[in-house]
Amino acid sequence: MTDYSGGGDAPVLEIRNLYKSFGALKATDDVSLTLMPGEIHALIGPNGAGKSTLIRQICGEFEPDHGSVHFLGNDLKNSGVADRAQLGLGRTFQISSLALEFSALRNVMLAVQSTSGSSFKFFKPVMKDQPLVDAAMSFLGKVEMQSRANVPAAELSHGERRKLEMAIALALKPKAFVLDEPMAGMGPEGSKALTGFLSDLRHQAPILLVEHDMDAVFALADRISVLVYGQIIASGTVDEIRGNSVVRTAYLGEDA
Amino acid sequence: MLNYSRETILNTVLTLLLLGIPFAALAIDEPFYVTLATRVTIFALAGVGLNFALGLGGLISFGHAAFFGLGGYAVGILASHALNYEPLMSSPFEIEGTTQMVILWGVAMIVSGLAALIIGLFSLRTSGVYFIMITLAFAQMIYYFAISWPAYGGEDGLPIYVRNGFPGVNTLVPINFFMISFGVLMLAILLVAVLRNSRFGAALQAARQNEDRLSAVGIKPFYIRLAAFVISAMITGLAGALFADLNRFVSPSMLSWHTSGEIMVFVILGGVGRLFGPVAGAALFILFEFIFGGLTEHWMFFLGLVLLAVVLFARGGLIGTIAGKVRYD
Ligand SMILES: Nc1ncnc2c1ncn2[C@@H]1O[C@H](COP(=O)(O)OP(=O)(O)O)[C@@H](O)[C@H]1O
Ligand SMILES: [Mg+2]
């Protein structure tokens, strides 16, 4: 058995030679990367570089033209979005994606119900299922959203929705987190709080983090990969990326 | 909380009215209204079935006449075999017809459920307008099949010479048959209420609100919807079975797209996704037909205008207009 629990050297998530085109546009152009146990691997790059497209292929929303995604040693080729979530991929969306009529609590309960038994239970009322409610409440508590538990998702602020996305991902108890710009629109205060939160979260499961906030990336990442025009132009530690002149001209926007 | 109790009061009033009218009609010696109330009850039941798929699951089926008609034909065919003493099938084993309602209901539900399973396997891979069109296409296929199949009456339909039986009840007495239908309707609404609050109901409603969210937590919308579509069809099929017994007649018109449209009208008039919406909707429909149908043969045109007004100005139908938006606890 390969050890995926942390500290081992087998990658939790491994992407091999992935290609994806939209017409003539090469959105993913021979991308390979790994996510190791216990690490935060940040994926940065300008808008339109293909970060979200890569995330979607990892999570099963898009089928790659070529190449493979391996998770915990399984080739995910024939796994759909839900299968991958069941296997332990916990993702958040760049643009919050919630059941808007349901309360925050019921959004999290969906995730809890998915990981604790079947959804083909027809008779017991969910709101009277105390373990289900309590578990969901505790995940809301982890993002300081308990006081907003009964508010419909549609009535939550942008920042609260981002936190709710995070609580749902936590509730899946994933074996890897895949977070697409979790700080987007959170404001400096929110970003700082989330940075601290993610820093601890890596011990629970490794994180593939797409993020624009460079302060957060440099503070958090164990490794950084830089994606430009669908290609990874550099990959390394924070210091290596900071010192990389190609990256500085291509992305960080400085003169080399 | 306020909305919730308002809806409860409204539901109670509707139920009492539906139950009270036929008895009042008997008291003033107008038995015709008993039959009218029975029609409302059975149409409401058909609507409860569709509303489960459409209101909770967001599945806009324009083919529920298929299930209504299959339920009806299940009753008609089995009863006609029983009355002619002809077994339905003699090899490899013998199946006799029957005139027992409870058995007929079971068969009607199984037949509609199986049809929904097959139709759902194909149609639920699509969404939006495609789903509407595919469900319509399947229903039309069954409709034309019924028309062109002479063994059971073809275009002329199939009479049922004796009303089927229910243990300990004289079903020929209109008020008795009304009570049976009313009881079935209440049970169906209770079932939907229970399902709505269950894990399954949570997943189904989430599939309507945001299927990507449901998939991302690891629940496959397809199977949730398929199960909902089958349950929905079984309820509408049961309504078809009762309708056959009410009229003592089944005809291909039960399977026609007009019927699908009418069932959808019940749901929309009453309030999509509301527990008692189809009761309100079916009552409004029959009332409308009764009042304006006597004045003009173009009453359907005016119903169309009302429907348009509901869709444009009162999206929640009667229940939504009075009780406000749905709020989840
Ligand atoms: N479904 C799609 N169809 C066509 N083009 C797309 C689609 N999704 C993304 N793209 C294009 O692919 C490129 C990469 O987009 P995206 O992955 O969203 O970039 P990023 O997340 O790095 O900002 C963009 O040029 C975008 O317009
Ligand atoms: Mg993006």
The CATH number that applies at residue A209 is 3.40.50.300
Residue A180 alpha carbon, nearest atom of ligand 1? 21
Residue A50 Cβ < 6 Å to ligand 1: yes
The answer on A3 and A108 residing in a single domain is no
The answer on A207 and A161 residing in a single domain is no
The pTM is what? 0.94
Candidate from B202, B215, B326 with C-beta closest to A106: B202
Residue contact B200–A111, C-beta within 8 A? no
Domain range summary for chain B, segments of one domain joined by +: 6-323
Peptide bond into B167 cis (omega under 30): no
Ligand 1 centre to CA of A83 (Å) is: 24
Domain C-terminal end among A173, A205, A223: A173
Question: Residue ranges of the alpha helices (H) in chain A?
Answer: 51-59, 81-87, 104-115, 130-142, 158-171, 187-201, 214-220, 238-243, 245-247
Question: What was the pLDDT predicted at A255?
Answer: 47
Ligand 1 centre to CA of A48 (Å) is: 6
Closest Cα to residue B227, out of B324, B313, B145, B116?
Answer: B116
B55, B195 Cβ separation under 8 angstroms: no
The answer on A197 and A81 residing in a single domain is yes
The answer on A84 and A1 residing in a single domain is yes
The answer on A181 and A72 residing in a single domain is yes
pLDDT band of A254, cuts 50, 70, 90: low
The answer on A114 and A195 residing in a single domain is no
Structural domain count, chain A: 2
Query: If residue B290 lies in a helix (H) or strand (E), which one and from where to where?
Result: helix B277-293
- CATH class held by domain B6-323: mainly alpha
What are the Cα distances from residue B149, in Å, to A86, A198, B155, B160, B259? 48, 67, 8, 17, 20
The answer on A164 and A48 residing in a single domain is no
Task: List the beta bridge partners of residue A22.
Answer: A25
Which residues of chain A lie closer than 8 angstroms to B205, CB-CB? 99, 101-102
Instruction: Collapse the DSSP code of B316 into the 3-class scheme (helix H, G, I; strand E, B; otherwise coil) and give the result.
Output: coil
The answer on A37 and A157 residing in a single domain is no
Half-sphere exposure of A68 (CA within 13 A, CB side): 9
The answer on A179 and A167 residing in a single domain is no
Domain C-terminal end among A120, A141, A173: A173
Question: What was the pLDDT predicted at B1?
Answer: 46
Residue contact B210–A99, C-beta within 8 A? yes
The answer on A160 and A126 residing in a single domain is yes
Q: What residues have CB less than 8 Å from A224, skipping those under 6 apart?
A: A41, A42, A43, A44, A217, A235, A236, A237, A238, A241
3-state secondary structure string across A212-249: CCHHHHHHHCCEEEEEECCEEEEEECHHHHHHCHHHHH
Domain C-terminal end among A150, A173, A196: A173
Mean pLDDT of B223-227: 98
The answer on A253 and A241 residing in a single domain is yes
The answer on A3 and A117 residing in a single domain is no
ipTM of the complex: 0.92
The range of the structural domain enclosing residue A136 comes to: 97-173
Mean pLDDT of A68-96: 95
The Cα B43–Cα B264 span in angstroms is: 10
pLDDT in tens, A25-77: 999 999 999 999 999 999 999 999 999 999 999 999 999 999 999 999 999 99
Mean pLDDT of A172-197: 91
